Structure formats: C-alpha cells, structure tokens
Amino acid sequence: KAGVTQTPRYLIKTRGQQVTLSCSPISGHRSVSWYQQTPGQGLQFLFEYFSETQRNKGNFPGRFSGRQFSNSRSEMNVSTLELGDSALYLCASSQTDEKLFFGSGTQLSVL
C-alpha cells in the first residue's frame, strides 16, 4: 500500500497570502488529521476529519480551515498568512484504532 502523500513538499509564501496543502491518505483510511509542528511548540493538533465531517478541532484561529472529500483526500487552507505560520504541516491518516500514519509533511515558509 502507498503511504500518506502530502503535496507540495516545500512552499514559500509571503505574509498576507493564502495557501492550500493537500493530503492523500492510505487507501481505506477514512480519518485524516492535521498537525502543525514547530521547534518550540512540538506537534499541535489542527483538526480531524472522518467521512467528510470535521470531528474535532484544535485551538487555532479561523484562518486555518480544512475539508475532506468523498475519496478521503483532504486539504488544509491557511488564509492571510503570518510569519508565525511558518512550520512543518503534517497530515496523518488512520483506521478506527486511531494509530496514525504520517506523511512526510509540507514545510511552509512565510516571508
């Protein structure tokens, strides 16, 4: 089975722009979670989708949004980018036992 695929791998944006990140889960996995990883804050939970429904949301501002499609692929959008949004964004998929399989992440740099 193919692993979790995240695109793009690297992204450079400027403040005020918006960005969309994509995640394709492992085939058969219906849950997709997003995490933000920074050196100082560790792994921070953004949101989790299951069968196109957001089941849980972390403590991030409304500029961070996501969605999941009927094929379980997910996208994450960040609008009005700020310097502090620079981070590695990790997507993870899982089946019902909640064990997470992470993708390689998208490294976002905001200049």
Rounded Cα gap, residues 8 and 88, in angstroms: 11
Nearer to another protein, 14 or 69 (CB): 69
| φ, ψ for residue 68, nearest 5 deg | -130, 140
DSSP for 25-54, please give it: PPTT--EEEEEEEETTTEEEEEEEEETTEE
Residue type, 31: S
Would you give the binding string for another protein spanning residues 17-46, x where CB under 8 A is met? --------------x-x-x------xxxx-
Q: How far is the CB of 80 from another protein (least distance, A)?
A: 25
- Tell me the window of 17-25, 65-73, 78-86, 102-110 that interacts with another protein (CB under 8 A): 102-110
Minimum distance of another protein from residue 21's CB (angstroms): 14
Check residue 98 for interaction with another protein (CB under 8 A).
yes
